[in-house]
């Protein structure tokens, strides 16, 4: 019994050690909270190039940490938030902006959903108009009525 308990404790310790090995140390915040707030404000406007669905502020990727350090150092050098964002756009392209501005190259991105919604509304309205509630179907011709009667009579006889 003791041997099994020792093995169980050893297995639990071994399994938990893998989680400790992958843990990262928390990044220290800057000693100046106002500067840190400005860093995070700029980082909220930029996309993480590794994660692509997160802002630099939310990402914990190594590249995001490095870019936040770069933002911090540029702010300490006296550059404005707009200058830093422009620098990042020049370096990494428009893709780095988390909220791209409306311009000719991003017009489809901004207007596309509204165009598709308008198109879907048009198609829906057209289909509703065609169906006109209360409209009677066209009557059957004499040949069609006779064929229908024959088919119904055959179905009744088979049961």
**Cα separation, 70 vs 62, whole angstroms:** 12
Looking at the predicted structure, is the pLDDT value of residue 26 above 50? no
- 40 and 56 inside one domain: yes
Based on the domain organization, do 56 and 109 belong to the same domain? no
Nearest to 59 by CA among 69, 49, 74: 49
Domain that holds residue 114: 104-133
- The per-residue pLDDT for range 63-97, each reduced to its tens digit, is 999 999 999 999 999 999 999 999 999 998 888 88
- Segment 1-10, tens digit of pLDDT: 677 777 776 6
* Residues 101, 123: Cα–Cα separation, whole Å: 31
Number of domains in the chain: 2
Model pLDDT, residue 29: 55
Please check whether residue 55 lies inside any domain of the structure.
Answer: yes
Mean pLDDT, the chain, integer: 82
In a domain, 9, yes or no: no
User: Where residue 128 falls among pLDDT bands split at 50, 70, 90?
Assistant: confident
Q: Do 54 and 72 lie in a common domain?
A: yes
The 10s digit of each residue's pLDDT in 97-113 is 888 888 888 788 888 99
Q: CA–CA separation, 57 vs 88, rounded Å?
A: 15
């Amino acid at each position: 019994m003791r041997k099994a308990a020792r093995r169980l404790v050893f297995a639990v310790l071994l399994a938990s050690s893998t989680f400790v090995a992958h843990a990262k140390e928390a990044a220290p915040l800057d000693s100046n909270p106002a500067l840190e707030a400005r860093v995070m404000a700029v980082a909220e406007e930029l996309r993480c190039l590794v994660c692509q669905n997160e802002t630099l502020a939310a990402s914990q990727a190594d590249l995001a940490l490095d870019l936040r350090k770069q933002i911090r150092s540029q702010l300490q050098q006296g550059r404005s938030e707009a200058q830093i964002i422009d620098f990042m756009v020049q370096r990494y392209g428009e893709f780095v902006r988390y909220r791209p501005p409306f311009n000719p190259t991003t017009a489809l991105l901004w207007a596309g959903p509204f165009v598709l919604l308008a198109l879907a509304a048009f198609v829906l309205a057209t289909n509703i108009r065609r169906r006109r509630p209360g409209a009677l179907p066209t009557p059957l011709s004499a040949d069609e009525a006779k064929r229908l009667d024959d088919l119904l009579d055959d179905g009744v006889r088979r049961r």
